[in-house]
Amino acid sequence: MTSLTPVVLSGRIAFAISVVSSLIFFFFIPQSSLMSYLLTSGFFVFVFLFSFFLLKFSIERFVQEKLSVIYETIHQLKRNPISTEKKSFKANDPISKVNEEVLDWHLDNQKEINRLTEMEQYRREFIGNVSHELKTPVFNIQGYLLTLLEGGLEDESINRKYLERAEKSVEKLIKLLNELDMIIRLDTGEIQLNIQRIDLIELVKEVIESIELKAEKKHIKISILRKNMEPLWIMADEDKITQIITNLLINSIKYGSEKGKTEISFDDMKKQILVKIKDNGVGIKDKEISRVFDRFYRTDAAREHDQKGFGLGLSIVKHIVEAHGQTIHVNSVKHEGSTFSFTLKKAGKR
């Protein structure tokens, strides 16, 4: 099959023009047999050659102009690969569409490159954070064991103390691995939620009772802002929702003001219940709000108050909420407090 080049296309069009023009010419000249055929043949050749070269020049120039736009676009994209500017073209010809498709292809690929770059950056940060968090307990355990092996085991004044310290470091290590395992399983959907009908009010009361001693140490009052304590039914995994509320309430105690307060409220949103946990503690800086749910991220307040932890708690909370198909948000003002709000699916009437 012959490819449709400018030469072939020009030849075909020129031949068609020549045939039509020659037939018209033949009928308008005197019909003397040999002379009419010779004149018509000459006219055919003249029209064919004239049309061929004119068409060839016009088509090649047209194609060159259009291709130069595409080459210029590709050149600009090579010089500035992160450019997302998309030019509009008035012409509706196929070559202009090719240029637009080149731009669309570039934009799609640039988005994919950006996504892969972000994932690679996240992977490096994640590995770095895991390595950093593992170092402390592992090195502590190593130090305690070396001390015992180098003679401390026979010294009754330190052997038990160092074994107990090693045990605490092992517990810390196990906690980190368990939290990482939970996040990975939530990410991959391996954890199956046991969705059932739950009384949210009763669940919150039980969580408050379980952390009552922690709140009393800082003289923080935890209260439920609700006129009546009638059941508030939701559809969720009881253990996971307990984990969410426990984590958020403990955080409100950690970063709450001495003799402060934590308030829990519920808003009916027809199909969902909006749960709000508000404290009047140290708050979160504006620049940190967008990162509070990131893995291993610890706010300045956590470092300033020397709060222990891996920075995984809020990340787990977010994953659990999203595993329920719901959303979580945080509003905070530095030195005034924070409000964590998340939705839960409302249970239908029995």
For residue 258, give the CATH number of its domain.
3.30.565.10
What angle do the packed helices 6-28 and 33-79 form, to 10 degrees? 150
Alpha helices, DSSP H only, in 150-237? 159-188, 200-210, 212-217
My answer on whether 18 and 153 are in the same domain is no
The predicted-structure confidence for 51-87, as pLDDT tens digits, reads as follows: 888 888 887 777 777 666 666 666 666 566 555 555 5
Do 144 and 165 contact (CB within 8 A), yes or no?
Answer: yes
Two tokens, residue 258: 């001495």
Regions of the chain short of the pLDDT cut 70: 1-4, 30-34, 66-103, 106, 118-119, 122-123, 125-126, 128-129, 132, 298-310, 350
**Considering the domain boundaries, does residue 288 fall inside one?**
yes
Does 208 share its domain with 284?
Answer: yes
- 199 has which bridge partners? 233
My answer on whether 155 and 180 are in the same domain is yes
Strands, sheet with 261-269, edge to edge from the N-terminal-most edge strand: 221-225, 261-269, 272-279, 337-345, 328-333
149 and 12 within one domain: no
Tens-digit pLDDT profile for residues 270-321: 889 999 999 988 888 888 888 888 877 766 555 555 555 567 788 889 989 9
Domain that holds residue 126: 115-188
Is residue 300 situated within a structural domain? yes
3-state DSSP assignment of residue 339: strand
pLDDT value, residue 307 = 55
CA separation for the pair 179, 174 (Å, rounded): 9
The answer as to whether 100 is a domain residue is no
Domain annotation covers residue 22: yes
Domain count, the chain: 3
Give the model's pLDDT for residue 122: 62
Both 202 and 341 in one domain: the answer is yes
Residue 62's pLDDT is 74
101-107's contacts with Cβ under 8 Å and 24+ in sequence apart are 102/70, 102/73, 102/74, 102/77, 103/73, 106/77
What does the block give as tokens for 131? 């390595």
- pLDDT at res. 89: 47
Give pLDDT, residue 223.
93
Domain match, 179 and 204 both: no
Please give the pLDDT value at position 161.
86
Residue pair 279/218 in contact by the 8 Å Cβ criterion: no
User: What is the rounded (10 degree) CA torsion for 201, 204, 210, 213?
Assistant: -100
